[in-house]
Structure 1
Amino acid sequence: MDYKVCSVRFDLHGIHKEDDDDGSVVDVVPSIKPVDKLINHIEISKVLHCDGLLLCVYKDKTKLVVWNPYLGQTRVIEPKDAFHRLDRYALGYDKYKKSYKILRFVDNNLRGNPVFAYQVYDLNSNSWSVLDVNPDWDVEFYRSGVSLKGNTYFFAKQKIGVDGEAEVDDFLLCFDYTDERFGPRLHVPFHSYLTEDTVTLSSLGEEKLAVLYQSLDTCEMQIWVTTKIEPKAVSWNKLFLAVDMSSPTGFQLQVAGSFFIDEEKNLAVVFDLDKFLRFKIAYLIGEGGYFRQVGLGEAVNMEEYPYGCPLVCSYVPSLVCINQSLLLSGKRKER
């Protein structure tokens, strides 16, 4: 939040009502509170998570940092060529060699002369390579991928042709770091008609992927969860949650927001940015019309980063070691 990386404590106890001493029902308000700032000396515009490691993008977009918060180790990644404002990144690993890699979408859309390419950085060899990719799809610059079982999944759309079709196919794409290639199009259980529709991804541990979709026209929010997810195949469960957001909030969630779900409590926590009140908000949404708002403080530098709502991911400590020459895979610390 606000270019700082911090740990956050969630108390979701308030989704259940409790009996007070006098027999009346008390609704306990849940809380979401930042606990500690983890990086103070640099400003971070984006954080991506994989296997206990974080890939952090500097606010000025000049550097990347791979970081293990549990061990307190960091490693600065220098570019093959200059990083650009619209570049996108993802973090994953080779499932056989356990070699951690960074995927880069090179997007130098400056002075009306765009250059687009795809690169992979291997932390073991400390080297960049250029991929031979000529895609018939697009991933918007503000949509982050989600890493699962070492691979990264993106929400993508078919490229608009010369005729500028109003409707195009949308789907998931997986980048497999073992083969260093994108997989086939994977079905999503909805259709996003407009660029302004909200579509964002989240992981559930290392086995499931969740997708949140909200239509700009209807304000209905849907959350779906996979029953199977692989680079070349996906299947979805029944709809996890569907809410008409025009009733409780009356506005559209940010297209670049983040969320997570608690399957036990049938609850979704969705993070958003109120541009009018300049305030960061978490919405707690559950079955039976349950809805709560939790304020996360005033938003700063909104003019500099218009899609700057809080970016949140689940984190499990890892003993993966980082140094300046190589990255060694250690035994994971479970909790």
Structure 2
Amino acid sequence: MMLELPKDLVEEILSRLSATTLKRLQSTCKQWNDIINDREFAGKHFSKAAKQHLVVMMKNFNVHLVSVNVDEIHNDIDPSIKDIGELSLNKPYQVYINGMVHCNGLLLCITKGYTPMVWNPCTGKINWVVEPSRAYDVYDKFAFGYEYKKSCYNFKILRIQYVCGRKTHTYTTHGKEIYDFNSSSWRTLNVTRIWPLISRVVSLKGNAYWFTYEYKEGVRNSSLLSFDFSKEIFGNICVPFQFNGDYLVELSVIRENKLAVLLQRWALEIEIWVTDNIEPNGNGVSWNHFLAVDLGVTIPPISDVFSYAMSFFIDEDNKVGLIWDNNNGVRVHIAGEDYYREIVVGEKGICLPLMCCYIPSLLQI
């Protein structure tokens, strides 16, 4: 006879297992299935369970899981980056994904028709977004985050509509909207003008961050912008370096608690900075210098700067940056202060970003 444990004790035990393990255990019994599919338990599980830090890559308009191993590179053992396989959408869904933003195990996916949807690859659940009053457009930019209130996640999408001038080829803001999944509706956001993006949008602790630029007296100036999904306000974040709009900058989220910035000057010099602390209003932000590398002196030397399709993440333990780029095929540049390797992982593609870090979760919209 099987011993029946109190539900509270079962929840406590299950909340300490990984999300992927729980999905495999879901069919064990009805009680476990009910607990694992419970929205309140999913939130409790995400805050308590050990996180699995994985990597996903865009390939042929699909999302692929990738294994990355650089643990022995300083012992003269080559790094390993392998495509494990496609993360398939549940039938009958078959869409082509053109871009994505990760937040707490959920992927905001932008389809080839510029329509956003939210997908949890771990549970397979998909949430489509209600059509806005103004149709989606190729110039639309999206951010993804949440308001955390009374132990519940209220996920939201920020849509910034841009118009590209045919003669000047410059972008101006046409409108800003918020989609609230609790109400399944769009509403206009009345804020000041937002300048065009020059980096990918990332989500950290429910808030969004990206680099933008504006022209002042003919000079292109860049800044790091944030959006607080709880207060629905924008903020400016101080960065620890001086740069202009001609430099390449990119953002990455490290283990869901730090923001990393990569700066590349045209001389093939890259710097990576990582936050110790960051708030969307910019107060109390502090940065640590993580890495500085001159790729012009690597063997073999790199002759081209990275493209604007570039994305990256860092391995803090091995003190290297892994930079994914789209020049002459999808390549991963693994760079440290005294280390450099290059690995080809696929053919040239047009999906952005090329990769992002991913944490499986049971969270629901």
Which TM bucket (shorter chain)? 0.7 to 0.9
Structure 2 residue aligned with 1:106:
161
Structure 1 residue aligned with 2:289:
239
1:127 aligns with 2:177: no
1:184-223 equivalences in 2 (<5 Å)? 185-195=236-246, 197-216=247-266, 218-223=267-272
Contact 1:219-1:252 at 8 Å conserved across structures? yes
The AA in structure 1 aligned to 2:67 is: R
1:153 aligns with 2:209: yes
1:220-231 equivalences in 2 (<5 Å)? 220-231=269-280
1:179 to 222, 227, 231: 231
Please identify, of 114-123 and 197-206, the stretch whose mean Cα deviation from structure 2 is larger: 114-123
Contact 2:200-2:353 at 8 Å conserved across structures? no
Contact 2:154-2:180 at 8 Å conserved across structures? yes
1:10 aligns with 2:61: no
Contact 1:50-1:147 at 8 Å conserved across structures? yes
Note the C-alpha offset of 1:171: 2.5
Change (3 A) 1:224 1:58: same
Identity %: 36
In 1, distance between residues paired with 2:304 and 2:72?
A: 24
Structure 2 residue aligned with 1:313:
356
Change (3 A) 1:143 1:78: farther
Q: Look at both structures and tell me which one has the larger radius of gyration over its CA atoms.
A: 2
Aligned residue for 1:246, secondary structure, equals helix
1:1-335 equivalences in 2 (<5 Å)? 1-17=59-75, 27-39=76-88, 41-61=94-114, 63-80=115-132, 81-96=134-149, 97-109=152-164, 116-135=174-193, 138-140=195-197, 143-157=199-213, 159-161=214-216, 163-164=217-218, 166-168=219-221, 170-183=222-235, 185-195=236-246, 197-216=247-266, 218-232=267-281, 233-248=283-298, 249-274=302-327, 278-287=328-337, 289-300=338-349, 305=350, 308=351, 311-321=354-364, 327=365
Gaps of 5+ in 1: 18-26, 322-326, 328-335
TM-score, normalisation: structure 1 = 0.82
TM-score, normalisation: structure 2 = 0.75
In 1, distance between residues paired with 2:257 and 2:173?
A: 36
Note the C-alpha offset of 1:79: 2.7
Contact 1:254-1:309 at 8 Å conserved across structures? no
Alpha-carbon RMSD across the aligned residues, in angstroms, is: 2.1
* Count of aligned pairs: 293
In 2, distance between residues paired with 1:177 and 1:237?
A: 23
Gaps of 5+ in 2: 1-58
More helix by share: 2
The AA in structure 1 aligned to 2:78 is: V
